[in-house]
Structure 1
């Protein structure tokens, strides 16, 4: 492929994008124009000979809220919000990155020390490169222009999408695509943990990189079990809506930390490191002592973890058998558990309860319409996820515009994670 711009005009390119984004021929034109815009911007500065396109999806969490850090289970899915990049390799040992939204920067692959003025993006790339070297993988230079539709601060994993894009590029250009999805995910997590000081788990990276709807069992954290689920029926039946509340996470670090601390207090009562080794029978046999030792909210959060992990196990088993009858109920029950037991749908500030309010308005709407909703991601501030049968989507869009009067984002599952497109 000597000229990517000419290729983007072909029917073959259109069909590849239709397959990637699960779109028909008419709807895919928006994506074709998006790729063409990026290629044209790149061509103004660099030659496009031997250029390639890569895409890395965002993700939604379907059920399994706040279970990964206690080695539980989740169901998540990649979505059509993605980060795309046009890339050419170079031999100068430098990585040149330009986003359509931000200024260009350069990283020397022979100098991975983090500098005081390095941006978060530079730190993440350096961290991934360093981890690749530690793992005995090859690294090298490339030039890329990027753009993204993955929302930030909405629980759809904009950072992980970017990290897995970088891994996919390095894997293709310098490692013959021999690096596993799990190793790439761990490289992204390592970069966040060690270069950005964000103590994230593996959920985001695995969901972005793997593609499709997946279930993850974190019981063996070093080698979590990732199973792809057949999501075609769900993709064909439902539209998914992310509704941001517009509230700020910055003052809520203590609320997120408290979830882990309180869950740990329950597991430590039983001499266990993680809640995955605590049962409901354990809770019921020791309730007064647990209340005294850890407090009522900690017990409620442990109850959420135990019931949520079982809920994931049950839904994953059903979907494996192509049984989708309980999908809406599983999402509803998971969301209610987060609201009632995990208690991550409200903030300490009574004037700012956006997630709880939007969930309540959705539930009132669903008294006369089909659909379900839940808090999305970490909670407290951020967004909610609504799962709407496709025939109900026009009415739901009107509800969002006329009642909530809030911005929203309609998203769809896609089967590919972090991939070379063409």
Structure 2
């Protein structure tokens, strides 16, 4: 566990006063390495915690009020004497804090007021799941400040997912929260949502001659909320035709037999998105096997196929119209790389970020070129971080 920046402690004391026992919290961002929109269908993913994170300092304050100050945002307070969901707090940090309080209270803990100062170097709106990092940071703070049994990474991730679904009002799978809770690079099977199976791998892309780069388009995520929600909605509409809630419970063979009538009843896009699920889910398994074998060439070839499936079949790169920032970013990245490396849409898609695996000798040129087109600082390299979200007394 790393030590907090002393200036963060100074900020806490300046904001809330000192002479109290302090806890340090760390919650990393994540990158989806493989598995584009497979998690919510009970499929497989490979994800990695990143070397950018939320850092915070917290302490009990002797009240029933949570006081939160996050760098770059207005401080806020919420009364924790009532942790039920409030419609007016949806799509707000207040809602996430209240939701995590409800989750931690459900573990048998006594809810108490606290002060929390946070800072983050996760690029805002970049598709690296800063919201999940926030949920986990707050959850680990509450776990530490409120005595009780330890919460496993999986249980904390599930609590964060519920808080985001119910209190924040955003439908999401479990990949973001679980990968950030676990740390490192991990293969996760979501077949059983109550008990996802995960395994971690000690792997550094730089050892194989590549850098993990993410390029952010600088667009507003909120304008694509409906498009994002339609992806699982349409996949699950296909599953419902088989009496199931998720595609993992629909054998590919059964789907194949009904393509004609599914197209007639649901239209082509739900069928294409279901086809992406079956293609991508298999590619995840093959990419994980390639990583475990240290076979970077096979991994990159499969990654290119994954990117093509997302663009053509899943259709979460562009939603039509004149504005297609993600498609432009992908085309520019391929223009720079040529036959080298691999690029794909990253995460939810539409206006978030793209992912590129770039040969080390091309990184400077790649980043400089993408920044020139997308804006200074919108493309950068990342490393896999070994530690997941944690909090500890100082």
**TM > 0.5 fold call:** yes
Aligned length: 390
Once the two structures are overlaid, the 10-residue window that deviates more, 213-222 or 319-328, is 319-328
Which secondary structure state, in structure 1, belongs to the residue aligned with residue 33 of structure 2? strand
> Which residue of the other structure, out of 357, 382, 391, is the alignment partner of 1:387?
357
Q: Structure 1 residues 107 and 284 mapped into 2: Cα distance closer, same or farther (>3 Å)? A: closer
Matching of residue 242 in structure 1 with residue 207 in structure 2: no
By how many angstroms is 1:379 displaced? Answer: 1.3
1:355 corresponds to? 326
2:10 corresponds to? 40
Aligned counterparts of 2:134 and 2:277: Cα–Cα separation in 1: 29
Once the two structures are overlaid, the 10-residue window that deviates more, 213-222 or 328-337, is 328-337
By how many angstroms is 1:152 displaced? Answer: 2.9
Once the two structures are overlaid, the 10-residue window that deviates more, 244-253 or 232-241, is 232-241
Query: Could you list the per-position Cα deviations for residues 221-256 of structure 1 after superposition, in whole angstroms to 9, with x for gaps in the alignment?
Result: 111112212223557743222222233333433322
Aligned counterparts of 2:62 and 2:375: Cα–Cα separation in 1: 51
1:101 corresponds to? 72
Once the two structures are overlaid, the 10-residue window that deviates more, 155-164 or 199-208, is 199-208
By how many angstroms is 1:135 displaced? Answer: 3.1
State the TM-score, normalizing by the size of structure 1.
Answer: 0.84
1:179 corresponds to? 151
Matching of residue 304 in structure 1 with residue 304 in structure 2: no
> Which residue of the other structure, out of 371, 383, 386, is the alignment partner of 1:412?
383
Which runs of 5 or more structure 2 residues have no equivalent in the other structure?
none
Aligned counterparts of 1:224 and 1:245: Cα–Cα separation in 2: 32
By how many angstroms is 1:411 displaced? Answer: 2.1
Aligned counterparts of 1:132 and 1:51: Cα–Cα separation in 2: 19
Matching of residue 372 in structure 1 with residue 342 in structure 2: yes
Which secondary structure state, in structure 1, belongs to the residue aligned with residue 222 of structure 2? coil
1:5 corresponds to? none
> Which residue of the other structure, out of 343, 355, 370, is the alignment partner of 1:400?
370
By how many angstroms is 1:114 displaced? Answer: 5.3
Say if 2:68 and 2:77, in contact at 8 Å, map to a contact too.
yes
Q: Structure 1 residues 414 and 82 mapped into 2: Cα distance closer, same or farther (>3 Å)? A: same
Aligned counterparts of 2:227 and 2:51: Cα–Cα separation in 1: 30
Q: Structure 1 residues 262 and 57 mapped into 2: Cα distance closer, same or farther (>3 Å)? A: same
Matching of residue 228 in structure 1 with residue 194 in structure 2: no
Say if 2:341 and 2:356, in contact at 8 Å, map to a contact too.
yes
State the TM-score, normalizing by the size of structure 2.
Answer: 0.90
Aligned counterparts of 1:250 and 1:403: Cα–Cα separation in 2: 23
Aligned counterparts of 1:192 and 1:47: Cα–Cα separation in 2: 32
2:244 corresponds to? 272
By how many angstroms is 1:170 displaced? Answer: 1.7
Once the two structures are overlaid, the 10-residue window that deviates more, 183-192 or 400-409, is 400-409
Q: Structure 1 residues 265 and 248 mapped into 2: Cα distance closer, same or farther (>3 Å)? A: same
- Give the superposed CA RMSD: 2.5
2:26 corresponds to? 55
Which secondary structure state, in structure 1, belongs to the residue aligned with residue 156 of structure 2? helix
2:51 corresponds to? 80
